[in-house]
Amino acid sequence: MKNDQLPAGRRTLLRLALALGAATAVRMVAADPAGTPARPGGEPPDPVAGPPARAQTGGGAYRLRPMTGHGAPRFLPAPPPVRTRPFEELPELGRDAMVLSFDDGPDPRYTPDVLATLRRYGVRAMFFVCGEMATDHRDLLRVMADDGHVVGNHSWSHPLIPELSRSAIRDELGRTSDVIEQTLGAPPLWYRAPYGAWNRNSFEIGASMGMEPMAWTVDSLDWTRPGTDTIVRRVERGAAPGVVILSHDAGGNRSQSVAALRRYLPALLGNGYRPTVPHRG
Ligand SMILES: [Zn+2]
């Protein structure tokens, strides 16, 4: 079963690890200057909202990385620093901003509905995809990018990262980044460890692949299928500036997650929240 929950013992260990790492505050690297404004009326997406966030490079630091023997040199973004904990919230995005994120997909049974609802309200989100799903549904990856969503790396097969060797972690993350790059023309800039189980190797390897670690603030626990009402209530109660919401568009029956989004998204917009995505550059 895929979900982002850990047994209680693991959760306790992770909380301890996060508490120990709390002294090293992680700051957002950049806010989203072209954030999608709230549209309580449910207008269609703004065609001038800008290119997909993943393509926004915003004058950031670049360095030349010669690729001898593989054609012309390419300019690539400088790799991010090695973090000691993931981003859990993004307060720098702005006073009314928050982030919706969807894990484990894409799944053709649910992802198109999630995308349609986001498009209806002109809202961008983050999708942390598994390579084994993404490789078979590259069309959905393209729709995500075309609609301005951020496509992040959620490993290939959804393993517990701390139980893997360094080479296995590199394989899980690298193969997934390869599928995203082959499909969208650029590698992902964010990754999320399955079950929220991070370790030092994952921070080092993720950074070496140019990715920042993104966790979440509010877990909708949608994967337990608690009922659409409960998912809606959890998201609405958890809403606050800078909050990152976790839910799922794959990994099991996600009809409740799909139905809940149709209800909580207009409610969030009606309450003045501006769901958006971070960009890096
Ligand atoms: Zn997951």
154 C-alpha vs ligand 1 centroid, how far in Å?
A: 7
249 C-alpha vs ligand 1 centroid, how far in Å?
A: 10
Residue in 137, 154, 158, 248 annotated catalytic: 248
Q: Given a cut of 90, is residue 32 above it in pLDDT?
A: no
43 C-alpha vs ligand 1 centroid, how far in Å?
A: 31
DSSP string, 2-38: --S---HHHHHHHHHHHHHGGGS----S---TTPPPP
Q: In the structure, what pLDDT confidence band is assigned to residue 280 with cuts at 50, 70 and 90?
A: confident
Q: What confidence score (pLDDT) does residue 73 get?
A: 58
Contacts of 81 (CB under 8 A, 6+ apart): 207
pLDDT tens column, 97-127: 999 999 999 999 999 999 999 999 999 999 9
Is 249 marked active-site? no
Tell me the Ramachandran region of residue 110: left when phi exceeds 0, alpha when psi lies from -120 to 50, beta otherwise.
alpha
Pairing of strands 62-65, 150-153: unpaired
162 C-alpha vs ligand 1 centroid, how far in Å?
A: 15
Q: Where are the beta strands (DSSP E) in the chain?
A: 62-65, 74-77, 97-103, 126-129, 150-153, 190-191, 212-213, 218-219, 244-248, 274-275
pLDDT tens column, 175-185: 999 999 999 99
138 C-alpha vs ligand 1 centroid, how far in Å?
A: 18
Average pLDDT, the chain: 82
Q: What confidence score (pLDDT) does residue 145 get?
A: 98
Q: What confidence score (pLDDT) does residue 78 get?
A: 77
Q: Given a cut of 90, is residue 186 above it in pLDDT?
A: yes
Residue in 4, 103, 104, 219 annotated catalytic: 103
Q: In the structure, what pLDDT confidence band is assigned to residue 72 with cuts at 50, 70 and 90?
A: low
36 close to 274: Cβ distance less than 8 angstroms: yes
For the segment 11-22, the average pLDDT, to the nearest whole number, is 45
On the 0-12 / 13-18 / 19+ scale of CB atoms within 10 A, 101 is buried
Helical pair 111-120 and 255-270, crossing angle rounded to 10 deg: 10
Q: What confidence score (pLDDT) does residue 54 get?
A: 38
pLDDT tens column, 201-216: 999 999 999 999 999 9
Q: Which of 16-25, 104-113, 249-258 has the lowest mean pLDDT?
A: 16-25
pLDDT tens column, 44-70: 333 333 333 333 333 334 444 444 445
252 C-alpha vs ligand 1 centroid, how far in Å?
A: 11
Q: Given a cut of 70, is residue 37 above it in pLDDT?
A: no
Q: Given a cut of 90, is residue 11 above it in pLDDT?
A: no
Q: Given a cut of 60, is residue 141 above it in pLDDT?
A: yes
* CB burial readout 26-51, b (16+ within 10 A) else e: bebbebbebbbebbeeeeebeeebbe
103 C-alpha vs ligand 1 centroid, how far in Å?
A: 5
For the segment 26-47, the average pLDDT, to the nearest whole number, is 36
**28 or 140, which is more confident:** 140
Is 219 marked active-site? no
**Encoded amino acid at 3, one letter:** N
Cut 0.85: pTM above it: no
